[in-house]
Structure formats: structure tokens, C-alpha cells
Amino acid sequence: MKHLIDINRLEKSEIEQIISLAGEFKAGERKSSVAGKTACLMFFENSTRTKISFDLAAQKLGMNVIHFDGATSSLSKGESRKDTFENLSAIGIDTVIVRTTEDKFIDNSLKELPLPLSFVNAGDGLTAHPTQALLDYFTMRQIFDSIAGKKVCIVGDIAHSRVAKSNFALLSKFGARLHAVAPSYFKPKETLHVIYHDNLAEGIKNADVVMMLRVQRERLEAEFNADGYIEKYQLNSEILNKYAPNAILMHPGPVNRGVEITSELLDSEKGKTILEQARNGVFVRMAVLEMLG
Ligand code: CP
């Protein structure tokens, strides 16, 4: 694996290898083979979980970690992206971990960059967030032996969610039954090959996994009617326990308490899986960095 750009470019066997390696790191059974290498965190968009867990993952592997700040870098003086990456490579960076608002940022960069750098997509625009889908799958697999035939329902702002797109891409490879609940204004242009519902109870009925999404207000063009959304799509313990009592509850974060999910549900026993996702992110990202070598 030279880069990790999109789930669609991973074979099932590679995904299983990452999950297996993450499990070994979590159990403390695996040593790093990338100690002394250097990772550069290049986050042009805000992040808590992804940025900090990549930083910690690289440190746990014994890698050097450099933080690239776009605003104070020479990009702000007009240096091109190509020259920036060529210089980072010359300085000794091995792996660049990028979060950006630009769709296909890494593909666009690689068109002009035959460099010995490895790239990891830490979320690009509306396109993909592969390590989130991998850590979500890892979390599901800690509970289920197999995801084949399981009903997974993702609820909320699907249109603006690179997490939903990467999750659907991954889960479809493993035979999950994919459902989504979204109002028409949060349905993406592409079908994503999932069954859509407008009704929350109908969509989550008998689900094995319910994954809630944040409304990405920063990406909305039209005025958002929060009260109307909450009335129809907010999940609480009563609805979850009535329609999907055996489901695990997931959320990639950040959560908007009181919008897509109630505080009482988030703080309940069911909400604990959401913090487990964040914890697993470190081990999955260790596995990805280890596989990039
Ligand atoms: N899930 C996720 O990507 O969270 P952050 O934006 O905090 O990294």
C-alpha cells in the first residue's frame, strides 16, 4: 500500500489486514516497523479525533511527527503545492496525512508529483474519509463476527457526509444491508446503492447498527430549520429501544448534542460505543501507518 486515498481502492483482503493489524496493536501484540520515519500532519480543516489520533498513532509507532500549518507556511506566500511537497520530501518527510475541504486533493496533487511521499486521506471535502470507515468497521467487528447480512442504517446529513460515503463503500464490500434515513434535502445526488427512508422509525427498524450523523451546517447553502429536523429525525432512547433494541449506536463525531441525538441517549450505556470508536481510531491509524511502511 503506497497511499490510502479512498476505500474503493482497497481490496477486501487489505481491509481485513488493516483490521487484523489494528487488533494486534490494541492487544499490545505488535511492534512497529516504522520507528524513525516521519509523518507530517497537514490539516487545512478543523479536526479533533482524526488529527489527535493520527498524531498519537504515529508517536506510539516511534515516528517523528511534524505539524504543517497552512496559514503560517510558505503556501501563504504563493509557493505552489508541487514545490511544497517536493521540499517536504527533500527535508525528510515520509508520509503526509491530509485533511482538506478540496475534493480529491491527493489525486490532484499526485498528478504533478511523482515523489517518494506516501499520502493518507484524513478527509477531503465531500469525497472520502477512509480511516473513519475503517475504524467504524473495526468497531463493528469487535461486536459482530461478520457484518454480512447485518442491517446498517445511517441517519442524517448523508449529502455532505464523506463518512457515510466511505462507510457505504466499505460495508457493501462485506455484504451488509445498507439503509439510510434522510430528508430530501440531505439525500446525495448519487444513489450510493442504499435503501432510503424518510421516516426514522421505519429506517432503523430491527437495525443491527444505527449510525447518526451531524448536520454539517458549515456546508449548507440554504437556511436550516433545526426545529423541523429535530422533530422528525432526532434519535432518543425511547425510539431506539422501541424500533432497534439490539442495535449498536455509532456516531463518527463531532456530535451536536440536542440536534441529531439527545444528550440522554448520548450519555446512556448505548452511547459508549461512540467513545470506543474514537479509541479504536488510534489503533486503526497505527495499522494504516504501519502498512504504508
Ligand atoms: N470523525 C471525525 O473526522 O472527527 P474530527 O473532524 O474531529 O476529526
Q: Grid coordinates 496533487 are at which residue?
A: 109
Residues 154, 73: one domain? no
Residues 122, 173: one domain? no
Which range marks the domain in which residue 105 is found?
A: 7-128+281-292
Residues 170, 273: one domain? yes
Residues 96, 27: one domain? yes
Residues 136, 107: one domain? no
Residues 188, 245: one domain? yes
Residues 188, 144: one domain? yes
Output the pLDDT for position 94: 97
Q: Which of 132, 134, 167, 275 most suits a substitution to test ligand 1, by most atoms within 8 Å of the C-beta?
A: 132
Residues 96, 28: one domain? yes
**Does 106 fall in a domain?**
yes
Question: How many domains are contained in the chain?
Answer: 2
pLDDT tens readout for residues 202-237: 999 999 999 999 998 777 777 778 899 999 999 999
Output the pLDDT for position 252: 98
CA of 40 to the centre of ligand 1 (A): 18
Q: Which numbered atom of ligand 1 lies nearest the CA of 123?
A: 3
CA of 145 to the centre of ligand 1 (A): 26
Q: Whose CA is nearest to atom 6 of ligand 1?
A: 47
CA of 231 to the centre of ligand 1 (A): 26
Output the pLDDT for position 217: 79
Q: Is 77 exposed, middle or buried (0-12, 13-18, 19+ CB in 10 A)?
A: exposed
d(CA 269, CA 241): 12
d(CA 61, CA 210): 33
Ligand 1 pocket, residue 166 CB under 6 Å: no
Residues of the chain with pLDDT under 50: none
**Does 2 fall in a domain?**
no
Residues 184, 44: one domain? no
Residues 122, 16: one domain? yes
Ligand 1 pocket, residue 50 CB under 6 Å: yes
**Does 144 fall in a domain?**
yes
**Does 1 fall in a domain?**
no
271 phi/psi in degrees, rounded to 5: -75, -10
Q: Which numbered atom of ligand 1 lies nearest the CA of 99?
A: 8
pLDDT tens readout for residues 49-72: 999 999 999 999 999 999 999 999
Show contacts of 220-229: CB within 8 Å, 24+ apart. 220/160, 222/185, 226/259, 229/183, 229/259
CATH, residue 84: 3.40.50.1370
Ligand 1 pocket, residue 123 CB under 6 Å: yes
Ligand 1 pocket, residue 132 CB under 6 Å: yes
C-alpha cell, 49:
479525533
CA of 125 to the centre of ligand 1 (A): 13
Residues 134, 271: one domain? yes
CA of 67 to the centre of ligand 1 (A): 17
Q: Which numbered atom of ligand 1 lies nearest the CA of 46?
A: 6
Q: Whose CA is nearest to atom 3 of ligand 1?
A: 50
0.85 cut: is pTM over it? Answer: yes
d(CA 243, CA 178): 17
Ligand 1 pocket, residue 156 CB under 6 Å: no
Ligand 1 pocket, residue 254 CB under 6 Å: yes
**Does 261 fall in a domain?**
yes
Residues 66, 98: one domain? yes
C-alpha cell, 211:
449510525
Question: If residue 136 lies in a helix (H) or strand (E), which one and from where to where?
Answer: helix 130-143
